[in-house]
């Protein structure tokens, strides 16, 4: 056991930087060593992808819409916080390995393909990047955009059938998603979007909505903080407006996924329900 010197002076804590609050944009406090990588519209990544817009953000990553200049198509690039090993790409690559028994599993087509992986170095560290197809919106986003929060019955049935197929395929391959909910089920974008230039994309869906990051103490931003935050683009529609022909989904966000044959999350004992026997009082 380490001993503690009672006379030792406490180490000074890094000062907390506060920023002007912004809605629907990630907190600028997360742009720090070990955190997000600063991205601006127009950035070129891996000498191949031009950032066109933002798709979203989460605790461990930001996701950007980019134009693949080699394939002339739009892609989604998830950029992890610095220093983290992106297990999601390993799971997806494992699922991409064909097996003879997969022919009877239509759910294989409902899992995103890894189009590319690379890493970038920046002021906040080294970041792993995962390239996949972009989605139109999640089920949760479609419901949140709607007054009724309902899908048409044929659309709901089609979605449910595909989710069952996707989960059946994952379990067939020995993978547990571990975080499956409406926010991780995505509608596919029509292929016609790839025909749009970035300018035409902005005409149809709007220019990037950016807001400056401003420190409340009036001091300049540190090197690892971008000058502006970008509000995610809205490519979707309300749930009741989704046509049956558009009810094509894929499952996303495999960051919590695991293979029980390799990684054990729960022991048998921890899953047992405790049984309490209450003795009946004697008369």
Question: Which letter does DSSP use for residue 25 in this model?
Answer: S
Q: Say if residue 178 is exposed, middle or buried (CB neighbours under 10 Å; 0-12, 13-18, 19+).
A: exposed
Identify the H or E element spanning 205: helix 198-205
Question: Which letter does DSSP use for residue 8 in this model?
Answer: S
Q: Enumerate the active-site residues.
A: 179
* Ramachandran angles phi, psi of 249, nearest 5°: -120, 165
Q: Can you read off the two tokens belonging to residue 268?
A: 């048998």
Residue positions forming the annotated binding site for ATP = 78
Region of residue 108 (phi > 0: left; psi between -120 and 50: alpha; otherwise: beta): alpha
Q: How far apart, in whole angstroms, are the C-alpha atoms of residue 21 and residue 8?
A: 38
Residue positions forming the annotated binding site = 78
Of 249, 32, 273, 243, nearest to 139 (Cα)? 249
């Amino acid at each position: 056991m380490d001993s503690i010197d009672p006379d030792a002076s406490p180490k000074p804590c890094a000062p907390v930087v506060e920023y002007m609050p912004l809605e629907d944009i990630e907190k600028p406090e997360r742009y720090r060593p070990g955190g997000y990588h600063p991205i601006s519209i127009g950035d070129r990544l891996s000498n191949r992808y031009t950032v066109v817009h933002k798709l979203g953000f989460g605790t461990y990553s930001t996701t950007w819409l980019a134009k693949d200049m080699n394939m002339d198509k739009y892609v989604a690039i998830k950029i992890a916080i610095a220093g983290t090993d992106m297990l999601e790409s390993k799971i997806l690559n494992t699922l991409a390995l064909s097996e003879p028994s997969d022919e009877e599993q239509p759910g294989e087509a409902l899992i995103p393909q890894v189009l590319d992986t690379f890493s970038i170095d920046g002021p906040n560290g080294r970041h792993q990047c995962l390239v996949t197809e972009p989605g139109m919106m999640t089920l949760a986003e479609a419901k949140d955009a709607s007054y009724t929060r309902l899908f048409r019955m044929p659309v709901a049935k089609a979605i449910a059938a595909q989710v069952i197929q996707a989960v059946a395929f994952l379990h067939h391959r020995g993978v547990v998603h571990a975080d499956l909910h409406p926010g991780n089920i995505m509608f596919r974008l029509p292929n016609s979007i790839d025909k749009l230039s970035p300018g035409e994309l902005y005409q149809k869906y709007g220019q990037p909505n950016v807001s400056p990051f401003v420190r409340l103490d009036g001091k300049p931003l540190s090197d690892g903080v971008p000058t502006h935050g970008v509000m995610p683009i809205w490519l979707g529609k309300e749930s009741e407006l989704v046509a049956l022909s558009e009810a094509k989904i894929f499952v996303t966000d495999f960051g919590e996924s695991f293979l029980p044959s390799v990684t054990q999350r729960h022991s048998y004992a921890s899953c047992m329900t405790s049984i309490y026997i209450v003795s009946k009082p004697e008369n």
